[in-house]
Structure 1
Amino acid sequence: MNEFMFKNAINITALYAKMDDFIYKKHSHQDYAIGVTLKGMQYYHLHGTTQLSHPNGVMFFNPEDSHDGMAYNNQQLEYIMLYISPELLMEVSTLKQLIQFQNPIVYNKVIEQNVLCLATAIFKEQSDAICYEHLQALTDSLNTGTTFEHVAKDNSKLKLAKELIKNEHMEKFKLEKISDTLNMSKFQFIRFFKQQMGITPYQYYINYKVEWAKRILVTYKDVYWAVSECGFVDLAHLNKCFKYRYGVTAYQFMSKLK
């Protein structure tokens, strides 16, 4: 049995998931994803290594961290996840530049409880003031309970490649146009990008389109605008791409936010 529940507040999306046979395909998010394994074990690949989060494990995914995900040995898995934009995390933490969490999984009771308290406040539709207080508590606990480093600036070629792909999110993906701009063959570009990001340029392109669609759904609750604005062929195309990354279709995600 697979169950996914979403709720949004203070520009944070909270996810509760219960699953056994669902498998997330390799993808990434533009947000930080911070979650807690409640029951079972979360099995996934990140940074070329295999990760296994046991109950009470706190999981960290940096923006654009490529990963998959599944329940270990098809056992029932339950977990909570918070999707927090880099801009919001920087504002709350008063940091001047982005950070990257170094430990993908930690076992820290204070951080665990702060994640769960914030998720509970969002799901119970408590006031924004209460949600902000829980976010502040979570952020403060991250400063003392995790290891992170400031994000090094992208090398110029990778930064340009990502900008070119993002600028094409409403159009058909043009591999040769982008590779020509970078003075690379299309095969050199695919190899270069995958070595740097862990996913192919086309996967990055689809991921960005889905993340952009998600923001439209959260903000405007308009699934057909998301289809048009993000350049999907039709609603079925958006739903298929969305489900691979969030466990539900775009329409189901929008409906669950209400």
Structure 2
Amino acid sequence: MATRSSRFHYVKSRFIPELTVLHAQMSDFSYDRHAHEEYAFGVTLCGRQDFFSGGEFHRSPPGHVIQFNPEEVHDGHPGGESPLGYVMAYVSPASLEALFAAALGNERAGGYRNSETLMSDPVLRAAILELVQLVTRGVGNRLDQEHALYRVATALVQRAGQCQPGGPARRADALLLRAKDYILAHLADDVSLDDISQAAHLSKYHFLRLFRQQFGITPHQYVLNCRINAARNALEAGAVPSDVAIRFGFADLSHFNRRFKRIYGMTPHQYQRSVIN
């Protein structure tokens, strides 16, 4: 629970370890800008979901679908006066590669990226809600959940109407890969902007300009985001929150708690209790 009037509940799939579902109710909470390593598929249930993504602001009314590609920066908060309720399924790219390739009929199209963030699509909405229900109830078996996930992938591809592969890496994409590789190798270190820009083979000025222009957050925010994502994985594996804080470069547990809560709506300890039965 984030506050008296905002609640967050995470459920990990019993059958697909790389699949996590979030049930959220929000009225006085706002996410910091961040990015997940997974694909995210969500449905707004009640209220209105306002968020930034892809360089623009979106407003999602009840029944609309929200989809984020891996590493896509976004934030979020309730819009209007009514409380916001929504569900979101987070799925690792590895779990979707074969499903996207099968849906597209192209074995090399596993790295599919959807160009739409906010959609009104009853078929896609129904597929996401079915997946969420299966994970939340813990019913069926792995095949049932994989089939529901395949329905999500198929509905997304059919909506696009054609394959939209990533294609050759652009300069900004290559920048992110070089910078991310360096950051992930030094999560516990006190890295500087000079360190990261040199790893990306750019001057500090050009690095800052291109990074912010492409990703919508500063390198400092991105470093924190990578540390939080790595810390989340460690928590799910059962690591002690205080040890995780030190391992991934946070000053102390209090600092870790504050940063984690601004992205996941709850403290690391609360998150760990939610996903580990």
Q: TM-score, normalization: structure 1?
A: 0.92
Which residue of the partner structure matches residue 234 of structure 1? 252
Which residue of the partner structure matches residue 141 of structure 1? 155
Deviates more, 1:61-70 or 1:217-226: 217-226
Quote the Cα distance in structure 2 between the aligned partners of 1:181 and 1:102. Answer: 29
Name stretches of at least 5 consecutive residues in structure 2 with no aligned partner. 102-106
Cα deviation 1:62-113 (Å, max 9, x = unaligned)? 1111111000024200000011111111133235341221111111111111
Question: Of residues 207, 228, 236 in structure 1, which corresponds to 2:225?
Answer: 207
Equivalences for 1:64-143 in 2 at 5 Å? 64-94=71-101, 95-96=107-108, 97-126=110-139, 127-143=141-157
Quote the Cα distance in structure 1 between the aligned partners of 2:205 and 2:37. Answer: 25
* Closer/same/farther in 2, CA of residues 183 and 216 from structure 1, 3 Å limit: closer
Quote the Cα distance in structure 2 between the aligned partners of 1:37 and 1:102. Answer: 19
Cα deviation 1:174-232 (Å, max 9, x = unaligned)? 21122234454433322221112111111111111111111222233543443243222
Equivalences for 1:169-208 in 2 at 5 Å? 169-208=187-226
In 1, are the aligned partners of 2:245 and 2:252 still within 8 Å (CA)? yes
Quote the Cα distance in structure 1 between the aligned partners of 2:30 and 2:180. Answer: 27
Query: Which amino acid in structure 1 is aligned with residue 219 of structure 2?
Result: P
Deviates more, 1:17-26 or 1:148-157: 148-157
Query: Which amino acid in structure 2 is aligned with residue 65 of structure 1?
Result: E
Which residue of the partner structure matches residue 6 of structure 1? 10
Quote the Cα distance in structure 2 between the aligned partners of 1:222 and 1:145. Answer: 43
In 2, are the aligned partners of 1:8 and 1:218 still within 8 Å (CA)? no
Quote the Cα distance in structure 2 between the aligned partners of 1:74 and 1:213. Answer: 34
Query: Which amino acid in structure 1 is aligned with residue 164 of structure 2?
Result: E
In 2, are the aligned partners of 1:32 and 1:84 still within 8 Å (CA)? yes
Quote the Cα distance in structure 1 between the aligned partners of 2:55 and 2:170. Answer: 20
Report SS of the residue matched to 1:92: helix
Deviates more, 1:124-133 or 1:33-42: 124-133
In 2, are the aligned partners of 1:21 and 1:74 still within 8 Å (CA)? no
Question: Of residues 22, 34, 46 in structure 1, which corresponds to 2:41?
Answer: 34
Quote the Cα distance in structure 2 between the aligned partners of 1:255 and 1:74. Answer: 31
In 1, are the aligned partners of 2:178 and 2:199 still within 8 Å (CA)? no
Report SS of the residue matched to 2:127: helix
1:151 maps to 2:169: no
In 2, are the aligned partners of 1:66 and 1:199 still within 8 Å (CA)? yes
Report SS of the residue matched to 2:113: strand
Name stretches of at least 5 consecutive residues in structure 1 with no aligned partner. none
In 2, are the aligned partners of 1:89 and 1:139 still within 8 Å (CA)? yes
Quote the Cα distance in structure 1 between the aligned partners of 2:180 and 2:195. Answer: 13
